[in-house]
Each structure stands twice: as structure tokens, then as C-alpha cells.
Amino acid sequence: MSDFLFVYITNASKDEAKKIARHLLDKKLIACGNIYDGVTSVYRWEGKIAEENECVLIAKTTKEKFSQVKTEVEKIHPYKVPCIVEISVSANQKYFDWVKKEVM
């Protein structure tokens, strides 16, 4: 089941994460999105170390849809450099079948 993916996307707010999840759902590019609020991110940006509260959206989709997901997120994400990471995962067959059905 290596065709099943999580797409890890960081966002400045819960509202932004919801907006992106709904956009991807409307386009049938993901089957589900989980939003984790209150994540602390520490990173280097423009030569300085930054620390921000962010929300993580984990979007569930298929490998076939990743390129489209990435393109759509890049279109609407407010960050100059959005984090859009593909993570291959395995799932039980019934769940994976549901995901495939939702994104077809």
C-alpha cells in the first residue's frame, strides 16, 4: 500500500489549515485532513532563529494525487515557502479503499 500518503502541511493558524483542507476536499484531492493546533516550530529564517506557533494539516491522499495537492496548496498558501511534505504510509485495506474512492 505504498500508494497511500500523508501530506504534512504547516500553517500559521487553524483557520488557514481548515481553508486549505476544505479547498483540497472540494477538488477531491484528499479524503480527509487532520489539524493539529498549537505546534511550536523552531527554524532558521533569513539568517535568524525563529519560534512560532503553527497548525499542522495532515492530508490523506494517494501518491497519484500528490503533485496536484502540492500545486493547489502552493497557489493558496500565504507562506513564501510553504512546507508541503509527502510521507508514505500504510493503512488497513478498507481505509485505503475509502481514501481511493474519495479522491477518484
Domains of the chain: 4-103 (3.30.70.120)
pLDDT at 79: 96
Arithmetic mean of pLDDT, 12-40: 97
pLDDT in tens, 58-80: 999 999 999 999 999 999 999 99
pLDDT category at 39 given cuts 50, 70, 90 is: very high
Cβ–Cβ < 8 Å for 93, 6: no
The predicted model scores a pTM of 0.94
- Cα angle vertex 44, ends 34, 60, to 5°? 15
Arithmetic mean of pLDDT, 81-88: 97
The one-letter code for the residue type at 62 is T
Q: Could you give phi then psi for residue 68, rounded to 5 degrees? A: -70, -40
Arithmetic mean of pLDDT, 17-22: 98
pLDDT at 61: 98
Spatial CA neighbour of 3 closest among 102, 68, 99: 99
CB atoms under 10 Å from CB of 25, counted, come to 16
Average pLDDT across the chain, whole number: 96
Cβ–Cβ < 8 Å for 53, 38: yes
